Structure 1
């Protein structure tokens, strides 16, 4: 069966999705600063005016990329879920966060940096809501409903996951899938340690 390309998708009326896919490719290759609507148009083989049928400007397309990145993060977290206990759910968030950072490095740096649309955009909030809800619910359960304790635990786990993701990107654990598995495993172990010693966090 012939492979469907992004250009084929455009000719079948799915230019918006093709532009998002292409923008993600360009960001992965060159970073957000190396991305432009004109370059996306060239890669798709469409007129430079074509993207403006779907996006008002570059920032609006970048917002759509941010939404897609958030959806990929949700998928990564759900793939790590192994139980219904609050501790397991919180560990799954940490594991999924690190694995997402490894698999989608440029998107991760963009999503959690300042290059994409500001935090608080409704579209981004909706896309990331499943992870935030799982994170918040698990932290509240482990903190016995105490919002101060839940926030302290949540911030500590988030900082830990982000830290391991950063160390992985710096090559601290080596290269390849073995390095990713090491970083994911250590983030999970550190999260469990934080949960066990959570009383010392506040």
Structure 2
């Protein structure tokens, strides 16, 4: 069976999805600064006016990329096999976050760095399962105290993000061994935060 390309998808009426895929490719290759609607159009072989049927401007397409990034983050977190306890579930979120950052580095830096989509309704919906994992585990570990739960969730998110950033800076070395080290240390730091959660609120 012939392989379906993004251009084929466009000709079958799925230009919006093809543009998101192409934007992700361009960001991965050139960074967010190297991305433009015109370049995405050229790569797809469509008129430069075609993207405007689906996106008002470059920023709107970048938001759609952010939503896709949220979906990939959910998939990475879901793939982490945590145990049944709230401690293990929260640690699994931290591990998944670091693995997502390692696998999708350019997108991570573009979306979760200088132009975070957090707060945008579409992104919030896409990332809802991760938010629920933080919330549910945090509430279970806080004895139902929302202030402690929020403080713990924020601390774990900052820890996971920090380990991802240090991984990108080369602080853990290179290759898969570096990823494993960053994931392991993020998990250990998360366990430490859980143990000292009463001091966070």
Whether the TM-score (by the shorter chain) exceeds 0.5 is yes
Misfit runs of 4+, over 4 Å: none
Determine the C-alpha separation between the residues in 2 that align with 1:115 and 1:47: 28
1:158 aligns with 2:157: yes
In the other structure, the counterpart of 1:54 is 54
- Mapped pair 1:21 → 2:21: yes
The residue that corresponds to 1:169 in the other structure is 168
- 1:183 corresponds in structure 2 to 182
**Structure 2 CA distance for aligned equivalents of residues 115 and 34 of structure 1:** 15
CA distance in 2, matches of 1:154, 1:181: 22
Q: CA RMSD in A?
A: 1.3
Contact residue 165 and residue 183 of structure 1 kept, 8 A: yes
- How far did residue 116 of structure 1 move? 5.3
- Offset of residue 160 of structure 1: 1.0
Pairs within 5 Å for 1:129-140: 129-140=128-139
Q: How far apart are the structure 2 equivalents of 1:20 and 1:73?
A: 16
Cα separation, 1, equivalents of 2:155 and 2:19: 37
Match of 1:68 in 2: 68
Normalised TM-score (structure 2): 0.95
For residues 72-151 of structure 1, the aligned pairs below 5 Å read 72-115=72-115, 117=117, 119-151=118-150
Displacement of 1:161 in angstroms is 0.6
Unaligned residue ranges in structure 1 (runs of 5+): none
Do the aligned partners of 1:59 and 1:116 also contact (CA within 8 Å) in 2?
Answer: no
Number of equivalent positions = 201
**Structure 2 residue ranges without an equivalent (≥5):** none
Equivalent residue of 1:8, what SS?
A: helix
The question of whether the paired residues in 2 share the 8 Å contact of 1:62 and 1:116 is answered with no
TM-score (ref. length: structure 1): 0.94
Equivalent-residue separation in structure 2 for 1:157 and 1:123 (angstroms): 23
Q: Is the CA contact (8 Å cut-off) linking 2:102 and 2:168 kept in structure 1? A: yes
- State the 1:199 CA deviation: 2.4
